Structure 1
Amino acid sequence: MIKEPYLEFSQGIHCCPRAGITEYMVYDSKFKVRKKEIFVGAVGTSQSLQSLNEWIEKCSNFIAAKPNSNQPNLYTSFSGFNENSGFSAKLIYEEEITKRIFNRDIKRVLEIRNWNKLVSEAVDLFYNNILFLAQNRNVDVIVCVIPNNLYKKIVNKNEDNEVEEKIDDTHTDIEMNFRRALKAKAMHLSRPIQIIRQLTFQDTSTQQDIATKAWNFCTAVYYKTGQTVPWKLIKNEARSAACYVGIGFYRSRDKKILNTSLAQIFNDLGNGVILRGTPVEIDKNDRRPHLTSGQAYELLSSAINEYEFALETSPGRLVIHKTSNFSDEEIAGLRGAAEDRRINSIDFITILDSTFRFFRDGIYPPARGLSFKLDRDHHILYT
């Protein structure tokens, strides 16, 4: 069992983010210069936007925990998102920073029988409105509310759609994922987006309780604003400062470049910056994109430069992770960049999906930090 790390908040420490915010306020509330008003833009139908307005109003106040629960540590009350409670800030939501999608446009998309085309059109419909808000309105984050009827279509492929796609010349081997596609397309706008189903605003027995949903929504919006720090890991002075680098790949917007390297750099506060790398090739053996030694060297060197510029110090340790195995070329390039900066501690972590399922006696889910070792290079960690 890996011990739960303590988090630092404005007025104290706690291992639970929700309890810490409630009792000790968000970490950045100790600063004199901080963002106290978060402007929430939104895209959706008239009904969806009205539901969001009511939801944000509800989240501004205290919400009691799930009643009669035998799991009080799992289902906690929501402190309320306002200037006098844990977040010490307020959400600003006004009609002038929203964009309405007409029902006729939703209907037009729903009539498309080819599933990939349907998802593509749905992405474009939301993106065009996100683009307008990002370029013409003062917004910190943009919430995209997916109507229930559209959500059912973009997550489920029915048999009619599948039959048509088999004979459609425009069918692609890689199915589109609405959430990923929309976030990738909007990435260059430098405005974070939060995608949420309209159904989330309803209180039903098949969903999470209201307080839990409020915690998830408000914490995500607060963090995504970018100029905010809800909490930070307590720094161990005996350890060297660490730079965390995540390497991924994505398709270019014009679809001409299949994969481009991408690095996300995070410091101890959880603040990050995204760097774009160069086009890469698909490996013929494992059918996954990989960096050449030179590309890996340049990408990590740029990441270290960004870290040093932001913190005015060099990292003593590098933690590099990706969702596929590291090739020998990648390791050589990454090690070379670290050695040239005289960084001796470097961890390579591959994070993969697993079919393993953990269960725990009693009424609580498995404890975070549960881990066991398969061999020297393979471990399983429950987070």
Structure 2
Amino acid sequence: MTLELSVKELAPPNLQFGGALSVSDPKVGLAQAGPFDLHFGSASRKQKIGVGIIGPQWMIDLTRAWLERCMNPIPVLEGETQLRRMFPGFEETFHSALSTKDSWTVRLDEGGVGDKLGTALAISDPFRRFEQVLDAYADALDSLAARDSNRPDLVIMAMPDEVLKKSHSVERSATTEEKKAAAVIRKSRANGQLDLFDLFEEVEQTEEDFLKRDLRHALKARALRAKLPIQMVTRSLLEDTPRGQDAATRAWNFSVGVYYKAGGVPWRLPQTGPETCFVGISFHHLRTTKRHIVQSSLAQAFSSEGEGFAIRGDGVPATPDQSRNVHLSEEQAYDLSKDIVAEYATRAGGPPVRVVMHKTTHFDAAELAGIKAALSDIPIVDLVTLVPSSLRLLRLGVYPPNVGTLCTINSGTSFLFTSGFMQELGTYPGPHVPQPFEIRMQSGGSKTEAAQDVLNLTRMNWNTADIRGKWPVTLSFARRVGGILDEFGDAEPGETSFRYFV
């Protein structure tokens, strides 16, 4: 059998910033041209970002010192490289200042009956301790969010190490009924082809997740209810340590996340094609108010300008014959697709011309029928399955293939490398041999165009300035978003903006 191998290199993502500069590295673009929303003018963007702080006094002091430090240039003491670049300072980079006030600060350790955090951490029962720690932070957030005026743009949750040690997550023993249900799921999956699908662990939750609660997810859910974004910080961010990242890198990542959550637009992809809605569909485990275990569909959607939102679809009951290949019914696929387009139209002022859907499992016949019916008025619909592959490529020299390498075998099967040697960094920054995605099209679109979309979307994570993301943003936050939505049970969160989920 003749094996024909075609290898081409896709163009690196060309991100747009505040000036005329277009580059693929956010640190370079922000430092030289500022954030993209400078195009909107001073009337449409914040000149000052109000930052609230919640935590014990000593952590509040550390946070204030860190915010002050971020307002000034931070050098790379070990020597600047393409990966580690100096941070020019928040105002210099984003053309906006960070501002905090005493009235936006809530102490959780005022002493005596006012020491809410200390009292909570002293509780011996893990679930009660978790709930009390959560309430201490969330109630303080609610008090800031309830203000009609003098309200911060976002709130920093300053988390001591003791909170993370004692209440980072909590797990209870399953009931007899739940153990039986979990055993059925495990047995079903053990009989399936799990070698391939175990590779999805970083974006798909496991069956044990419905027995756990996570403090970060729970606080994000409370922020959704309060409609006030939060940024969680720990001592590893606020203080220099021998084992931690350098201060400049920490400042870059922290500042990009804060700017986005406060309403800013750090960068966007160039508008070279039709208005597009990029969607990632995944599943997560949900424990409802009736304690029945189901798997619920989740859609993470992004406009071509980068605005993101998350929508939860109807539940898919866990059944004995269910493998990891969970699928929507035709009706569920129809409803979820309709909801996505309606939310996009609300945010963008009209429906998209093109919809691109990403999954890590194939679209079955029922899903295809539902999506096709719901999107019949959309001119272009591309359905793309991304499967982590065991294929490996070697090239002459010591480095793996470049990021953006697209390998096609026998003019049919295509594989995209979103990790590998990075021209922007002059090195391969990963510890392992890069693993590509197999690009499977279940529509009439171009695999090359689909691969370029995936590559571009790896740079659209507005929660960091790091360019080393492997997963497209449509799928990279699936587990986190699912965990946050778990906190609502059967209730709807109301707010859908992605600023609350990252």
Change (3 A) 1:244 1:217: same
Q: Which residue of 2 aligns with 1:21?
A: 30
Instruction: Choose the corresponding residue for 1:265, options 292, 297, 301.
Output: 301
Q: Which amino acid aligns with 2:134?
A: V
Instruction: State the secondary structure of the residue aligned to 1:176.
Output: strand
Q: How does 1:215-294 map to 2 (within 5 A)?
A: 215-226=252-263, 228-236=264-272, 239-248=273-282, 251=286, 261-284=297-320, 285-286=322-323, 290-294=327-331
Q: Which amino acid aligns with 1:240?
A: P
Change (3 A) 1:132 1:256: farther
Distance (whole Å) between structure 2 residues aligned to residue 381 and residue 75 of structure 1 = 20
Distance (whole Å) between structure 2 residues aligned to residue 135 and residue 363 of structure 1 = 57
Cα RMSD (Å) of the superposition?
3.7
Unaligned runs of 5+ in 2: 1-8, 180-207, 420-469, 471-502
Change (3 A) 1:118 1:35: same
Unaligned runs of 5+ in 1: none
How far does the alpha carbon of each residue in 1:144-175 deviate from its partner, in whole angstroms, 9 at most, with x for none? 11111212233488xxxx9xx65999x99522
- Maintained 8 Å contact 2:404/2:416: no
Instruction: State the secondary structure of the residue aligned to 2:218.
Output: helix
How far does the alpha carbon of each residue in 1:298-345 deviate from its partner, in whole angstroms, 9 at most, with x for none? 22112212323443454332122356665543333123212x214333
Distance (whole Å) between structure 2 residues aligned to residue 209 and residue 360 of structure 1 = 32
- Maintained 8 Å contact 1:283/1:290: no
Indicate whether 1:90 and 2:97 are aligned. yes
Deviates more, 1:286-295 or 1:10-19: 286-295
**1:212 Cα deviation from its structure 2 partner:** 0.5
Change (3 A) 1:292 1:112: farther
Deviates more, 1:242-251 or 1:125-134: 242-251
- Maintained 8 Å contact 1:321/1:351: no
**1:24 Cα deviation from its structure 2 partner:** 0.8
- Maintained 8 Å contact 2:328/2:366: yes
**1:361 Cα deviation from its structure 2 partner:** 11
TM-score, normalised on structure 2? 0.63
Q: Which residue of 2 aligns with 1:144?
A: 157
Change (3 A) 1:113 1:348: farther
Q: Which residue of 2 aligns with 1:50?
A: 61
Indicate whether 1:204 and 2:241 are aligned. yes
- Maintained 8 Å contact 1:326/1:350: no
Instruction: Choose the corresponding residue for 2:137, options 106, 126, 129.
Output: 126
Q: How does 1:64-75 map to 2 (within 5 A)?
A: 64-68=75-79, 72-75=81-84
Distance (whole Å) between structure 1 residues aligned to residue 225 and residue 355 of structure 2 = 27
Instruction: State the secondary structure of the residue aligned to 2:256.
Output: helix
How far does the alpha carbon of each residue in 1:26-51 deviate from its partner, in whole angstroms, 9 at most, with x for none? 11113222222111122111111111
Q: Which residue of 1 aligns with 2:13?
A: 5
Which structure's relative contact order is higher, taking Cα pairs within 8 Å and 6+ residues apart? 2
Change (3 A) 1:179 1:331: farther
Change (3 A) 1:2 1:294: same
TM-score, normalised on structure 1? 0.81
Q: Which amino acid aligns with 2:13?
A: P
Say how many residue pairs are matched.
368
Change (3 A) 1:283 1:335: farther
Distance (whole Å) between structure 1 residues aligned to residue 270 and residue 345 of structure 2 = 20
Distance (whole Å) between structure 2 residues aligned to residue 356 and residue 105 of structure 1 = 53
- Maintained 8 Å contact 2:355/2:378: no
Indicate whether 1:101 and 2:108 are aligned. yes
Instruction: State the secondary structure of the residue aligned to 1:233.
Output: coil
Q: Which residue of 1 aligns with 2:226?
A: 189
Distance (whole Å) between structure 2 residues aligned to residue 134 and residue 116 of structure 1 = 26
**1:279 Cα deviation from its structure 2 partner:** 4.2
**1:196 Cα deviation from its structure 2 partner:** 1.5
Instruction: Choose the corresponding residue for 1:319, options 333, 350, 356.
Output: 356
Distance (whole Å) between structure 1 residues aligned to residue 340 and residue 267 of structure 2 = 23
Distance (whole Å) between structure 2 residues aligned to residue 357 and residue 91 of structure 1 = 46
